[in-house]
Amino acid sequence: MVMHSDPHSRPRILLVNAEVLFAEEIRARLQHLGYRVIDALAGSGEQAIDVARRERPDLVLLDILLKGTMDAIETAERICRELDLPVVFLTAHADQVALHHAAGLSAFGHVVEPFAAEDLMTAIDAAMHRHTCAANLRDATLATIVTGVQRDADGGERSDRVRYMNHAAEGLTGWRLSEAQGLALGDVLTLIDAEGRPLDLSEAALQQPGLLHVDMRVAIVDRYGATVGVRAYASPVLNAQGATKGVSLSIDTVSASDRAEQKFRRVLEVTPDAMLVVDAHGRIVLANRCAEEMFGYPMAELLGKSVEMLTPPAVRERHGTERMHFFASPRVRPMGLARELHGLRKDGSLVPVEISLGPIHTENGVWALAAVRDVSERKRAEADRRSQEERTRAVFEAGLVGMAIISPQRTFLEVNDALADMLGVSKQSLIGTGWDESTHLGDLPDNVRGLERAIAGERDSYRGQKRFVRADGTTLFVEISGRAVRDDDQSLRYFVVLVRDVTEQKLAEDALRASEDRYRTLIEQASDGIFIFDRHGRFLEVNAAGAQMLGRSGAQLLEMSIRDVVAHDEQPRIEPERARLLGRDPVKSTWRFRRADGTFFHGEVVARRLPPAAPWPPRPDGFRAPRGPARFPGPPASPPPR
């Protein structure tokens, strides 16, 4: 048995055990063997990592059945990877399955309970020796540069001066130690990122207290301008009081697998979607800039964190369960089918997303690649489209005119209540029936020709009048306006048709036309002369009897006024009589008229002002302009002049 007599040379052990009483027993054994026990924790894996980072023990003795959300395997992986410390597991015979999963860890050792003191010491010494050998091998192959931190007298400006370089660093940078020693680090070592921007890993290591190394994929530009892809690490060098006295930079050339990973990273960076790579424990191991922008986290706050922090609190437990299901049966598939998915930004806001998952097989096991697409714009566009459709539907259904959508085969695809009411049928019975079935037979040929022209692309819109036949057999007179809606290839998709019921207007016009025809016949067949004048005394209408009395044709009289047919000595009476006619009562008088042949006759005249039926433009006396065909405004209110 080897006892450590010098207290200062005794290895410092961090003991992490699930059981408090058993931890105290192990502490006593370790102290009896001469080891210094930093702590005997019965806490979680997170606590173990925090204490190891703060205390920097020589070895961690870890219960393989550690309780908490982070199991012992994951805890040991992080301690080995992030803190570069050896780990020895405490395990029982029943824990061989867990021990098998832990076998891939570097600097691994284990002690099986129950164990003797010699077994514990052997396991600890073997693990520390293995760790030391691995470190020596790594130091021999890694390019290492150690700097010293110097500041101005007032503590302001900082400068890093090269103190040490190994042979690997000399070969990688092109500088010899004798040349570089004392020079500023920036004059000897030039590191750039994937976009060619210079990096200061020394500054990064110093600005993040407690961060033991910064692991980044970069490129080094040597003394002669050549560029080589490398993996670089930076960690602060502390003095006995814990103050920073320098920085240690370790640089390793990138292997073929590393170059493949760099290519993969570059692919992630040019992908327009947010890309996340997650390990089986749910930790984010890779992310691209789109992920930073989408979720609002800088890269340093994403890597190593649980992917559940990017999910809303209400679904985190469910997400964790589904993540485990994915790793149990990894395959390419979309996530959350038939569900609305949201990501949680750093500022607490939610972003609607679509997520596609796929497995990545690595030397560290299966990882999940998640492509996360921000669908905010599409959701807004869909909401706007739904809103527009709802407004259009409201206008369609509540329209004051009939509306229909007609297929190229002339069938009703959709109709509103107004059109169904016009035709005296229900909407359901109308949809699917032919437009032709409701069309009056007399209008059918024109309708068919118009639709055929639209299908041929000769016209896109149509206005006109037509007749429908209602369900009760009556005729519906309508005005229609239609517009063709076409696909990208200009083929007709459907017609949108507006239908306005003008039946009452049509019947009123027909009745007025019939009335005018009746009165025209009455006036033309009357035996008395009937004349209609405007307010200037011009003839507007003359029947056959009146034209015969004056010995002139109707066309001649329409070019004349009352002054042309009244005897000269009767002329002074015209203005006073016209003034009397402006009243409401009829005026009865006798006048002497002159025929075309120069003879005269007396006629009894009964005249009355007619209500205006149409605007007749005034003209100065003596101006005689030809007028259009006669127009009959309706029956006079009193007998016409004779």
Q: Both 268 and 307 in a single domain?
A: yes
Domain boundary among 140, 162, 193: 140
- Total domains present in the chain: 5
Residue 508 belongs to some domain of the structure:
no
Half-sphere exposure of 7 (CA within 13 A, CB side): 1
DSSP state of 82: I
Read off the tokens for 269: 């960076």
Residue 379 belongs to some domain of the structure:
no
Could you tell me which residues are beta bridge partners of residue 238?
A: 244
Tens of pLDDT, residues 425-435: 988 888 888 88
What pLDDT score was predicted for residue 625? 37
Half-sphere exposure of 252 (CA within 13 A, CB side): 17
Residue 382 belongs to some domain of the structure:
no
Question: CB count, 10 Å around CB of 286?
Answer: 20
- 34's torsion region: left (phi>0), alpha (psi -120 to 50) or beta? left
Supply the CATH number for residue 202's domain: 3.30.450.20
Tens of pLDDT, residues 342-385: 999 999 999 999 998 989 887 778 889 999 999 888 888 888 78
Beta carbons of 566 and 591 less than 8 angstroms apart: yes
Distance, CA of 202 to CA of 209 (rounded, Å): 13
Q: Both 429 and 355 in a single domain?
A: no
What pLDDT score was predicted for residue 567? 92
124: phi then psi, degrees, rounded to nearest 5:
-65, -45
Q: Both 147 and 136 in a single domain?
A: no
Q: Both 542 and 453 in a single domain?
A: no
Q: Both 361 and 474 in a single domain?
A: no
Tens of pLDDT, residues 387-410: 777 776 666 666 678 888 888 888
Residue 380 belongs to some domain of the structure:
no
Residue 514 belongs to some domain of the structure:
no
Distance, CA of 214 to CA of 229 (rounded, Å): 16
Distance, CA of 420 to CA of 397 (rounded, Å): 11
Residue 127 belongs to some domain of the structure:
yes
Question: CB count, 10 Å around CB of 363?
Answer: 6
Residues counted in the chain: 642
Q: Indicate the residue type of 194.
A: A
CA 454 to mean position of chain CA atoms: 36
Q: Write down the residue that tokens 């709802």 correspond to.
A: 390
Over residues 114-128, the mean pLDDT reads 80
Beta carbons of 359 and 332 less than 8 angstroms apart: yes
Closest CA to 249 of 177, 183, 185: 185
Over residues 197-211, the mean pLDDT reads 65
CA 176 to mean position of chain CA atoms: 57
DSSP state of 411: B
CA 363 to mean position of chain CA atoms: 38
Q: Indicate the residue type of 278.
A: V
Residue 632 belongs to some domain of the structure:
yes
Tens of pLDDT, residues 299-349: 888 888 899 999 999 999 888 888 888 888 888 888 877 678 999 999 999
Q: Both 226 and 271 in a single domain?
A: no
Beta carbons of 530 and 542 less than 8 angstroms apart: yes
Q: Both 472 and 482 in a single domain?
A: yes
Over residues 439-463, the mean pLDDT reads 81
The share of the chain scoring above pLDDT 70, in percent, equals 78
Q: Write down the residue that tokens 């931190």 correspond to.
A: 149
Q: Both 326 and 409 in a single domain?
A: no
Tens of pLDDT, residues 473-482: 899 998 888 8
261 confidence band (pLDDT: 50, 70, 90): low
- Mean pLDDT for all residues in the chain: 78
Q: Both 603 and 617 in a single domain?
A: yes
Beta carbons of 234 and 249 less than 8 angstroms apart: yes
* Torsion sign, CA atoms 290, 294, 298, 303: negative
Distance, CA of 370 to CA of 363 (rounded, Å): 19
Distances in whole angstroms, Cα of residue 101 to Cα of each of 95, 203, 364, 443? 10, 38, 12, 86
Q: Both 561 and 599 in a single domain?
A: yes
Distance, CA of 374 to CA of 491 (rounded, Å): 35
Tens of pLDDT, residues 548-586: 999 999 899 999 999 999 999 999 998 888 888 777 778
What pLDDT score was predicted for residue 207? 64
Domain boundary among 118, 140, 162: 140
Read off the tokens for 90: 């405490």
Beta carbons of 556 and 563 less than 8 angstroms apart: no
Distance, CA of 58 to CA of 13 (rounded, Å): 6
Tens of pLDDT, residues 591-623: 999 999 999 999 898 888 887 654 444 433 333
- Tell me the residue range of the domain where 266 lies: 259-374
179 confidence band (pLDDT: 50, 70, 90): confident
Beta carbons of 354 and 375 less than 8 angstroms apart: yes
* Torsion sign, CA atoms 259, 265, 267, 270: negative
Q: Both 147 and 124 in a single domain?
A: no
Tens of pLDDT, residues 521-531: 888 888 888 88
Residue 381 belongs to some domain of the structure:
no
Domain boundary among 254, 271, 306: 254
For strand 531-533 and strand 539-542, is the pairing parallel, antiparallel, or unpaired?
antiparallel
DSSP state of 617: P
4: phi then psi, degrees, rounded to nearest 5:
-100, 100
For strand 412-415 and strand 402-406, is the pairing parallel, antiparallel, or unpaired?
antiparallel
Supply the CATH number for residue 34's domain: 3.40.50.2300
> Is residue 151 scored above 60 in pLDDT?
no
Q: What is the DSSP string of 173-193?
A: HS--HHHHTTSBHHHH-EEE-
Largest CA distance in the chain: 166
Q: Both 117 and 186 in a single domain?
A: no
Closest CA to 205 of 227, 236, 174: 236
